[in-house]
């Protein structure tokens, strides 16, 4: 019922387009298949790697164990009062899921249009863009416990969401396989979030005064397409780094040296600084080293011009981290998952 392939190239399974091989590789299309694959790995003592959309992974080496590629499909919903509870299987493409919700006039995910990746990884790193994070409309998920093979349910609170963080990136890391996620979306009186500068500008440019959720989605798609590289054309994994949070005293020190430092107060003591700005100030924007480089329009995105290895991209990220630290005393953290 499952078919294990030896020495499978992962090039078309990661959005960076890195050539790495999986010693063993299996595509699973249902829960039973996932369990059988897990049992096989446990019997053979193979290390496992759960691969979903491959949009947030950088393979440094070949993977010497079993890569389990999740391709479970299906979207269903039920309506209660003024809300739709929409459940998608982990292998559903995120943007198709957003489009499904828009077609049914379910509001809440429109700002998250066109984010690469699949539904199963959306709660892992609490994906976010243009003033919205999934935690704002996430309801619950079902996950398979890798040790016990039990299916566990996690509420929004159980997932411990934070900026690009969740339980599944921390204590829950490598312990669960997310099977499906449910979002609680509005069916009427949608709460629109147009406060992000770029969205406001785009709606104005299109002369839209009273936007619908579809208008917002289209504006976001337009902004993303003009700013961010399409992984099908230029390999990348979106933001490579997280925007750093620094303490107020640190920010005030920086402001004296660099008066134009963009900053977003998070609370009275913490300030967020855009990593893209820090990287650009270090002269990295648009720079190319060998087959990889820093995107010319968004310095937070590292790109594979074709033929780059995972190690080359990793080494480029090390250089950027070192330069940003030297200039600003800020230690950038990677958002992308590095697979050694
Ligand atoms: N900036 C620069 N130079 C750059 C890029 C950015 O100076 O090359 C500065 C500008 O001051 C700009 C500010 O950074 O005003 C913010 O830039 P942008 O609106 O592009 O957003 P971001 O903070 O760089 C974050 C997310 C993106 C998301 C956008 C839009 C993170 C790590 N990244 O980027 O998410 O699309 O906001 O909401 O939080 C992703 O996670 O893969 C991703 C693309």
User: Could you give the CA distance from residue 175 to residue 150 in angstroms, rounded to a whole number?
Assistant: 11
Catalytic residue check, 315: no
Indicate the helix (H) or strand (E) that contains 41: helix 31-44
Q: Which residues contact 161 (CB under 8 A, 6 or more apart)?
A: 123, 126, 133, 134, 135, 138
The alpha carbon of 89 and the centre of ligand 1 are apart by a number of angstroms equal to 29
Residue with token string 């990661």: 14
Query: At CA 155, angle to CA 153 and CA 159, rounded to 5?
Result: 100
Ligand 1 pocket: which of 274, 293, 335 to mutate (most atoms <8 Å of CB)?
Answer: 274
User: Could you give the CA distance from residue 112 to residue 131 in angstroms, rounded to a whole number?
Assistant: 9
pLDDT band, residue 1 (cuts 50/70/90): confident
Share of the chain above pLDDT 70, in %: 100
Residues in the chain: 340
Q: Which residues contact 76 (CB under 8 A, 6 or more apart)?
A: 86, 87
Domains in the chain: ranges and CATH: 5-70 (3.30.43.10), 75-227 (3.30.465.10), 235-339 (3.90.78.10)
Q: What is the pLDDT of residues 83-92, one digit of tens each?
A: 999 999 999 9
Q: What is the pLDDT of residues 108-143, one digit of tens each?
A: 999 999 999 999 999 999 999 999 999 999 999 999
Q: What is the pLDDT of residues 222-234, one digit of tens each?
A: 999 999 999 999 9
Query: Which atom in ligand 1 lies closest to the alpha carbon of residue 238?
Result: 42
User: Could you give the CA distance from residue 301 to residue 292 in angstroms, rounded to a whole number?
Assistant: 11
Ligand 1 pocket residues where CB is under 6 Å: 129-130, 228, 238-239, 242-243, 262, 274, 276-277, 280, 285, 298-300, 335
Instruction: Write the Ramachandran bin of 7: left for phi over 0, alpha for psi from -120 to 50, otherwise beta.
Output: left
User: Could you give the CA distance from residue 334 to residue 170 in angstroms, rounded to a whole number?
Assistant: 14
Catalytic residue check, 239: yes
The alpha carbon of 274 and the centre of ligand 1 are apart by a number of angstroms equal to 6
For β-strands 264-265 and 270-272, DSSP reports them as antiparallel
The alpha carbon of 224 and the centre of ligand 1 are apart by a number of angstroms equal to 11
The average pLDDT across 32-53 equals: 97
Instruction: Please pick, among 92, 137, 164, 217, the residue that the annotation labels catalytic.
Output: 164
Q: What is the pLDDT of residues 142-193, one digit of tens each?
A: 999 999 999 999 999 999 999 999 999 999 999 999 999 999 999 999 999 9
Catalytic residue check, 335: yes
Question: 287: closest CA among 258, 320, 263?
Answer: 320
Please determine, for residue 51, whether its predicted confidence score (pLDDT) is greater than 90.
Answer: yes
Q: Both tokens of residue 130?
A: 């243009």
The average pLDDT across 216-221 equals: 98
Q: What is the pLDDT of residues 271-300, one digit of tens each?
A: 999 999 999 999 999 999 999 999 999 999
Please name the residue whose Cα sits nearest to atom 34 of ligand 1. Answer: 239
Q: Both tokens of residue 38?
A: 């897990």
The alpha carbon of 201 and the centre of ligand 1 are apart by a number of angstroms equal to 16
Distances (CA, A) of 265 to 31, 245, 246, 248: 43, 9, 10, 9
Instruction: Please pick, among 113, 217, 239, 317, the residue that the annotation labels catalytic.
Output: 239
Q: Both tokens of residue 64?
A: 């010497």
* Contact (Cβ atoms closer than 8 angstroms) between residue 101 and residue 113: no
User: Could you give the CA distance from residue 170 to residue 160 in angstroms, rounded to a whole number?
Assistant: 10
Q: Both tokens of residue 149?
A: 């093979």
């Amino acid at each position: 019922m499952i078919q294990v392939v030896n020495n499978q190239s992962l090039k078309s399974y990661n959005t960076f387009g890195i050539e790495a091989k999986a010693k063993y590789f299996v595509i699973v299309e249902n829960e039973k298949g996932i369990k059988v694959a897990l049992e096989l790995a446990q019997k053979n003592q193979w290390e496992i790697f759960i691969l979903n959309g491959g949009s947030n992974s950088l393979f440094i080496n070949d993977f010497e164990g079993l890569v389990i590629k999740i391709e479970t499909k299906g979207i269903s919903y039920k309506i209660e009062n003024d809300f739709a509870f929409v459940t998608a299987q982990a292998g559903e493409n995120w943007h198709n899921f957003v489009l499904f919700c828009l077609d049914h006039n379910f509001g809440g995910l429109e700002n998250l249009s066109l984010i690469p990746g699949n539904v199963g990884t959306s709660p892992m790193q609490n994906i976010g863009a243009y003033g919205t994070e999934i935690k704002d409309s996430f309801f619950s998920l079902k996950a398979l416990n890798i040790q016990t093979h039990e299916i566990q349910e996690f509420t929004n609170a159980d997932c411990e969401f934070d900026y690009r963080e969740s339980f599944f990136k921390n204590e829950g890391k490598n312990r669960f396989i997310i099977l499906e996620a449910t979002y609680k979306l509005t069916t009427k009186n949608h709460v629109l979030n147009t406060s992000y500068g770029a969205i406001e500008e785009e709606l104005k440019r299109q002369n839209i005064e009273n936007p619908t959720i579809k208008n917002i989605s289209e504006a976001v798609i337009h902004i993303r397409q003009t700013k961010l590289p399409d992984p099908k054309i230029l390999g990348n994994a979106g933001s490579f780094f997280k925007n750093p949070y620094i303490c107020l005293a640190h920010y005030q020190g920086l402001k004296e040296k660099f008066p134009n430092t963009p900053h977003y107060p998070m609370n009275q003591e913490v300030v967020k600084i855009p990593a893209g700005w820090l990287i650009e100030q270090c002269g990295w924007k648009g720079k190319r080293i060998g087959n990889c480089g820093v995107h010319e329009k968004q310095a937070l995105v590292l790109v594979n011009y074709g033929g780059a290895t995972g190690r080359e991209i990793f080494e480029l990220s090390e250089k950027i981290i070192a330069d940003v630290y030297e200039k600003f005393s800020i230690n950038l953290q990677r958002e992308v998952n590095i697979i050694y």
